[in-house]
Amino acid sequence: MDQVGQPHPPPPGLRQMNLKKSFKLGIRSLLTTCSKEEFSKAFSTFNRVEQDGLHRLFMQVITSLHENIEEEFESICLETQVGTTLDTVEQLVEEQSLDTLFSDKTNVGEVKQELSKAKKDEIQYLMKMLDGAVEQNHLMRVCVESLKKERQDFTVTVGAADKLRSWNLNYGHIQ
């Protein structure tokens, strides 16, 4: 338990760590394929100072891109619960390999039940996300309507003030 009474999440399993490690290696190899020498050759018409400036800018863009891709990957993994799924797979594989009675015979009924439960859980998760989006949409509509009403009220107030000014000016001309 941590300070606010929430349990610490379990450490990631081997499959989860391998997925993240593979992703990071793949991204790194994609985003670091151009050496400074190759970069300078590509911009050979520029002088050395301009090449260095462009290369620094290139490295900043690549670094930022790398961070954004990693953050998006982590976000998608959290949203889709990839880590939990991989940990469950790892646990099932471990349990089956330890079970001496488990053979190549697969109980289709159990697999069907587990798959059905997993799909139901996924549907439930997606329904909660959809409900949240619908609620957020509703709140935004209420906010927009409130702003429209405030704008109309302001327009009416400005119109009334203009009318009073007009009457006041006309009153002064009548006498």
Q: Indicate the DSSP class of residue 5.
A: S
Asked which of 73, 104, 135 is the last residue of a domain, the reply is 104
Do 27 and 100 fall within a single domain?
yes
What's the pLDDT score for residue 13?
Answer: 77
Residue span of the structural domain in which 137 resides? 106-175
What's the pLDDT score for residue 4?
Answer: 58
What integer best gives the mean pLDDT of the chain?
A: 81
User: Hey, how many other C-beta atoms are within 10 angstroms of the C-beta on 86?
Assistant: 20
Per-residue model confidence as pLDDT tens digits over 30-53: 777 678 888 889 999 999 999 999
Cα 83 from Cα 126, distance rounded (Å): 17
Question: Are the CB atoms for 54 and 44 separated by under 8 Å?
Answer: no
Do 94 and 147 fall within a single domain?
no
Q: For the chain, what is the domain count? A: 2
The residues of the chain scoring below 50 in pLDDT are 1-2
Cα 20 from Cα 13, distance rounded (Å): 11
